[in-house]
Copies of this chain bind each other. A is one copy, B any other.
Amino acid sequence: MNSVSFLGDMLQTIAERGRRFLSPSGKEEAGAGGVEAICETLLSSHGEASGMALAKTILDRWSRFDEEQRRDFMVMLLERFGPDAARLDKAIDDYRGLRTPQALLELHSAAEPRRQELIRRLNLAPNGIATLVRMRENLLAMKSAQPDLDAVDADFAHLFGSWFNRGFLVLRPISWSTPADILEKIIRYEAVHQIDGWDELRRRLAPDDRRCFAFFHPQLVDEPLIFVEVALTRSVPAAIADVLREDRAAIAAADATTAVFYSISNCQQGLRGISFGNFLIKQVVEDLRRELPKLDTFVTLSPAPAFAQWLARERRAETSDAIDDTDRAVLAALDDPNWLSVPAATTAVQPVLTTAAAWYLLRARNAQGKPVDPVARFHLGNGARLERINFLADKSASGMRQAHGLMVNYLYKLDDIETNHEAFAGRGEVVAAQGIRRLLRADRPQRALAVLRAPPRERPVGAKTADGKGTRELT
């Protein structure tokens, strides 16, 4: 307990060190001399003697680079800090000849781009990791225009995967007594249901029936990596307004039976592809169960961010397994921006839209044969079950635009998580509540049959939204 406090002081050290060096001092600029030379020095034996200073110099310079210079820097990493080709060729020959573990070791080592060790040494700088994460964020933005930078990105991703290993992450509750500078970032990073200022943040954190948890890395002081917002309720909510309504009455946490994960947001673009969400949810479920033994239901209230786009495509397509002409006629009502206020329209649309959504979630597949919906991919991949589709659950502008107001509950049942995951990962099966499966069976027997015969059609729908803010929550 006290050795913990002892170590707690550590982070003070980390942070102070970080702060002390936070603002680039700007003086060493003078001797320009080219960053490449400094990088080579850092990689040389010299790096052992004065690695911290060299690393700091490089990162400081990079921080002051303009976009052009940053691109040049990445191209330099690509072209000048790949593997040593001659050494690699020799290593390949040796391996082909000898096949010894030693030769293999050398082959692996020779094939490693020199920039990997360079990045490792850049991490020697105080607060280096924070700059490296920003560096990759910048790199990701460049990649679309310059795809050969993929090779550099792969090295960043490899190292970040190792450094941000779940074993190094720490789960922290976020509450109304969390420091304001961290809360400010929660407001900024919330990617699903926007937080309109501090009063709303307070409503999401302070009441007894609200929780929030984030993963942190001990070296990235005051930067949450991913966070989830949780509502404690007595039933599974069918609309986001039930959760976020300003005037709702809070209940005592001890009376809740259900924990609703209603928003999950990744915070660091520079860590894209390093997966935290899976661990986050499981850890939060475990912690909540320990604190509140009466909780027996763990469920999400999730967006379906690609649904409207997919549906538009189906409606335009000549033939569709998902909808027929009758459906098309009904769905035409959606083209009226005011359809929500036309009772007849909503009544007619509800069954058709819900059934289409069931198809979308259960059957629609992207080019990789995975569900089109990125949120579905995430939760199903984690072993959750598709539990319920909620009509008009999110009437906000973005909710209507992305999914015609539909939202989805995914259920995390601890005992079934492994089996569900296996079904999904191994056999591509989407585990869903009977109510949803029945929607398809009862309604569209012929199509369900068709699916059994033919492989799912590939539709690269999800790809397009993968970078959008809407799915930043689960990238």
Contacts and interface: CB of A to CB of B under 8 A. Distances in A.
Interface string A160-201: 011101111011110111111111100000000000011000
A111 B120 contact: no
Given A1-B175, A5-B8, A421 B123 contact: no
A473 B46 CA distance: 23
Interface string A266-289: 000000000100110010000000
A470 interface: no
A125 interface: yes
A93 to B, nearest CB: 10
B15 A11 contact: no
Interface string A202-219: 100010000000001011
The 6 A-B residue pairs with the shortest CB-CB distance in the complex, in nearest-first order: A5-B5, A8-B8, A101-B151, A123-B167, A218-B218, A108-B111
A27 B16 CA distance: 35
Contacts of A417: 49-50
Given A7-B15, A178-B2, A162 B161 contact: no
A128 interface: yes
Contacts of A9: 1-2, 5, 8, 172
A465 B173 CA distance: 45
A145 interface: no
9 contacts: A1-B175, A2-B2, A5-B12, A107-B111, A108-B108, A168-B218, A179-B179, A180-B198, A218-B218
Interface string A26-69: 00000000000000000001101111100000000000000000
A222 interface: yes
Contacts of A170: 10-11, 13-14
A280 to B, nearest CB: 12
A221 interface: yes
Contact of A176 (B101, B181, B381): B181
A113 interface: yes
Given A101-B82, A166-B51, A382-B49, A179 B107 contact: no
Given A10-B172, A425-B45, A163 B163 contact: yes
A52 B286 CA distance: 13
Interface in A105-122: 105, 107-108, 111-113, 120
A11 B8 contact: yes
B8 A12 contact: yes
Nearest to A420: B49
Contacts of A104: 82-83, 111, 113, 151
A3 interface: yes
